[in-house]
Amino acid sequence: MAFDPATMLSLTLAIAAAAALYLLLEWRSVKEFALLYWAAGFATVFVGSSLSLLRASGHLFIGIWLANGLLVLAHWLFLLGVIRFVGERLPTLWWCWIALWCAMLALPFDPAGTKIYLIVNSLIVGLLSLRASAALKLAPDVATLGTQQLRYVLMIHGLFYVAKGTITLLPGTLIDLTVFQGTIIRVSLVEGVMAILLIALSMTGTVRYRRERQIEHLAERDPLTVLLNRRGFEARAARRLAEVSPSAPGALILVDIDHFKQVNDLHGHAAGDRLLVTLADLARQMLPPGSLEARLGGDEFAFLINDTSAEELSHIGETLRQRFQLAATAFAAPQTASLSLGVILFDTPPSSLDILIDQSDRALYDAKRRGRNRMTVL
Ligand SMILES: Nc1nc2c(ncn2[C@@H]2O[C@H](COP(=O)(O)OP(=O)(O)OP(=O)(O)O)[C@@H](O)[C@H]2O)c(=O)[nH]1
């Protein structure tokens, strides 16, 4: 296939239209607002590329100025989509490109004017793409394969446009925007086709990966307390247990609320829910960073702590018990709700999490049997 301008522009038109439509359909199912910006961006590329065909018939204002201006607008929409996707705010300064681009309308249609136009236009497109790429540099726990892909595609695209603007500065560089003449313009058309294809694919990938991660996250969380559920706890525990050694012992604390049924019966299910959330909040506040906190079901919770000691466990258990008891006084009952804790401290990795849960369950049973509102350590 010849890389002639007409073929490249036809490809650009076809891919941009398909990308706009695809992102719009994707938005209908995922309702991620960034997809709307990106779809609008590709629709703008489609309109801009269509208008650029008019330069061949002498309509230079529409075919060059307006068409290339729409290319800038498209990249602005891509940037707005990325900003929306990462939940950032864009400083007002970034709106200045509109004033700059309008100022270029004053440039004459001679070779010097066209050259300045191409340089400024390319630099604006390059900077908008690089800014979008920078916004996608997310923390490792938030970044997905999709965001990484989009980040690098936008970075390469932005660098290409900055290079294009810079090379155009060189004396003797041949460009003729009126008839798509000059190596830079031709290379740019080829890059444009590749870029819109890769950007569109990365954009859908970005949203998909994030959605998958959100679904994964929800599947491993208890909706009421937002602690891990049993499945999430099991999935994460194996790696923590393998890190246990005599110099860094581990502990599993099993917690059950005493007389919880009375809270539900006397104050309603919503009050019971509030108490469960209170316990989850206390655990989040008091357990050392890196601990695993889970609600195994009903009023039973499990906390896995690494690199701990009997003294630390005793302090955590006692404080948790006392603070919970204080919070539970808001729900008066013949027997106020309290906490029973069964703790197992171990200095070698156990053969399985289930065995560990069984052992701490025995400790918990002992705490219940001895009158509740206490902690038993094995
Ligand atoms: N509010 C609320 N209650 C729940 C939830 N899940 C389970 N429960 C209730 O938790 C209670 C747990 O019962 P038990 O642990 O047997 O009762 P208990 O009164 O705590 O008894 P002891 O543990 O022996 O002191 C039941 O009444 C369940 O209906 C929930 O998500 N929200």
Crossing angle between the packed helical segments 5-30 and 183-219, to the nearest 10 degrees = 20
- CATH fit for domain 5-219, picks 1.10.357, 3.40.50, 1.20.1070, 1.10.246: 1.20.1070
- In a 3-state reduction of DSSP, which class is residue 221? strand
222 CB under 6 A from ligand 1? no
How far apart, in whole angstroms, are the C-alpha atoms of residue 165 and residue 163? Answer: 5
Q: Give residue 117's pLDDT.
A: 82
272 CB under 6 A from ligand 1? yes
**CB contact set of 13 (below 8 Å; sequence gap of 6+):** 46, 49, 50
Q: Exposed, middle or buried: residue 196 (CB in 10 Å: 0-12, 13-18, 19+)?
A: buried
Residue 32: what are its φ and ψ, rounded to 5°?
-90, 120
Q: Atom of ligand 1 at shortest distance to CA of 259?
A: 19
Instruction: Tell me the torsion sign for CA atoms 22, 28, 30, 32.
Output: positive
Residue 261 CA to ligand 1 center (angstroms) comes to: 5
Q: Whose CA is nearest to atom 27 of ligand 1?
A: 261
217 CB under 6 A from ligand 1? no
264 CB under 6 A from ligand 1? yes
Residue 224 CA to ligand 1 center (angstroms) comes to: 14
Exposure string of 112-124, with b = 16+ CB inside 10 Å and e = fewer, is eebbebbbbbbbb
Q: Give residue 266's pLDDT.
A: 94
* Residue 248 DSSP label: B
Amino acid occupying residue 163: A
Q: Report the phi/psi class of residue 298: left, alpha or beta, with left for phi > 0 and alpha for psi in -120 to 50.
A: left
**Structural tokens at position 185:** 């313009």
* Residue 252: closest CA among 186, 313, 331, 165: 313
* Residue 290 DSSP label: T
Q: Atom of ligand 1 at shortest distance to CA of 224?
A: 31
**CB contact set of 192 (below 8 Å; sequence gap of 6+):** 8, 12
Amino acid occupying residue 358: D
CA angle 373–371–328, rounded 5-degree value = 30
261 CB under 6 A from ligand 1? yes
147 CB under 6 A from ligand 1? no
How far apart, in whole angstroms, are the C-alpha atoms of residue 360 and residue 353? Answer: 11
pLDDT truncated to tens, each residue of the chain (378 aa)? 556 777 888 888 999 999 999 999 989 888 889 999 999 999 999 999 899 888 777 777 788 778 888 999 999 999 999 999 998 888 888 888 888 878 887 777 777 777 788 888 899 999 999 999 999 998 777 777 888 999 999 999 999 999 988 887 777 665 565 555 667 777 888 888 889 889 988 998 888 888 888 888 899 999 999 999 999 999 999 999 999 999 999 999 999 999 999 999 999 999 999 999 999 999 999 999 999 999 999 999 999 999 999 999 999 999 999 999 999 999 988 899 999 999 999 999 888 899 999 999 999 999 999 999 999 998
Q: Give residue 176's pLDDT.
A: 60
- In a 3-state reduction of DSSP, which class is residue 171? coil
How far apart, in whole angstroms, are the C-alpha atoms of residue 256 and residue 258? Answer: 6
85 CB under 6 A from ligand 1? no
Max CA distance (Å), the chain: 95
* Residue 245 DSSP label: B
**Cβ neighbours of 18 (radius 10 Å):** 15
Domain limits, the chain: 5-219, 230-377
3-state helix, strand, coil split of the chain in percent (to 5) is 65, 10, 20
Q: Atom of ligand 1 at shortest distance to CA of 265?
A: 27
Residue 181: what are its φ and ψ, rounded to 5°?
-95, 155
Which residue(s) pair with 250 in the sheet? 346
Length of the chain: 378
- What is the pTM assigned to this prediction? 0.68
* Residue 295: closest CA among 366, 237, 223, 240: 223
Residue 299 CA to ligand 1 center (angstroms) comes to: 5
CA-to-CA separations, 164 to 18, 123, 161, in angstroms, rounded: 27, 8, 5
CATH topology of domain 230-377: Alpha-Beta Plaits (3.30.70)
259 CB under 6 A from ligand 1? yes
Q: Whose CA is nearest to atom 6 of ligand 1?
A: 298
Instruction: Tell me the torsion sign for CA atoms 305, 308, 309, 312.
Output: negative
298 CB under 6 A from ligand 1? yes
* Residue 324: closest CA among 276, 360, 288: 276
